[in-house]
């Protein structure tokens, strides 16, 4: 690039790209990410660490219990991200809320009492907990209404509940990527609008 006479440094490079963003974006060559946050950073740190999808029931320590880090399900991505990124232990929080308001939670599994090994690892329970705590947002399919760190629940056909974290990175169409574990370990990919949404939550 002979039209640049200034020597680029690692510190100057982001500012240089920012200045060029309107030009490059118009040419479809670049999509700069939105600012990250602690939830996204904690979720992304699981990529390459959690490499398997494993829904097995596992007895856990309490509080702060976790299945082995190399495995888990979609909810474990969220549990780990909120623990590390926000200091929120969903195992403890969901368990305590269920103990006090058991009838507010789904009875899909025929339980008659709480189970702190598994309750927080079930998407329908997280949906109730997030709604009860005021995190629920109006439904939307507009990509600009999603922020990094938002939590999205959806249904994977035919009827599988799923949860994912909105990334600060976007695809070439401007739609945010998500970080989730849908069967192959924790990954960051374009699946935000792929499945019917059942909830949109934002933890401030």
Our measurement of the distance from residue 111's CA atom to the centroid of its chain's CA atoms, rounded to an integer in Å, reads 27
Q: Which pLDDT score is estimated for 77?
A: 99
Please give the Cα distance from 13 to 144 (Å, whole number). Answer: 26
Query: Which of 126, 64, 130 is CA-nearest to residue 92?
Result: 64
Q: Which residues of the chain have pLDDT under 70?
A: 1-32
Instruction: Answer whether 170's CB lies under 8 Å from 176's CB.
Output: yes
Q: What pTM was estimated for this model as a whole?
A: 0.85
Domains and CATH numbers, the chain: 1-32 (no CATH), 34-201 (3.90.1720.10)
Q: Which pLDDT score is estimated for 31?
A: 62
């Amino acid at each position: 690039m002979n039209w640049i006479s200034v020597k680029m440094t690692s510190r100057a490079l982001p500012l240089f790209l920012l200045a060029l963003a309107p030009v490059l974006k118009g040419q479809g060559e670049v999509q700069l990410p939105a600012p990250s946050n602690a939830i996204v950073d904690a979720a992304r740190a699981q990529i390459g660490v959690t490499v398997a999808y494993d829904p097995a029931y596992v007895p856990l320590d309490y509080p702060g219990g976790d299945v082995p880090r190399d495995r888990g399900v979609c909810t474990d991505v969220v549990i780990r991200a909120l623990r590390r990124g926000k200091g929120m232990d969903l195992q403890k929080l969901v368990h305590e809320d269920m103990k006090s308001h058991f009838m507010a939670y789904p009875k899909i599994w025929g339980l008659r009492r709480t189970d702190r090994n598994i309750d927080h690892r079930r998407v329908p329970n997280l949906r109730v907990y997030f709604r009860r705590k005021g995190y629920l947002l109006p439904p939307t399919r507009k990509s600009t209404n999603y922020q990094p760190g938002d939590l999205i629940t959806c249904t994977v056909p035919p009827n599988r509940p799923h949860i994912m974290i909105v990334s600060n990175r976007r695809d070439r169409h401007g739609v945010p990527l998500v970080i989730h574990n849908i069967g192959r370990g924790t990954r960051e990919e374009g699946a935000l609008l792929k499945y019917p949404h059942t909830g949109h939550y934002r933890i401030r």
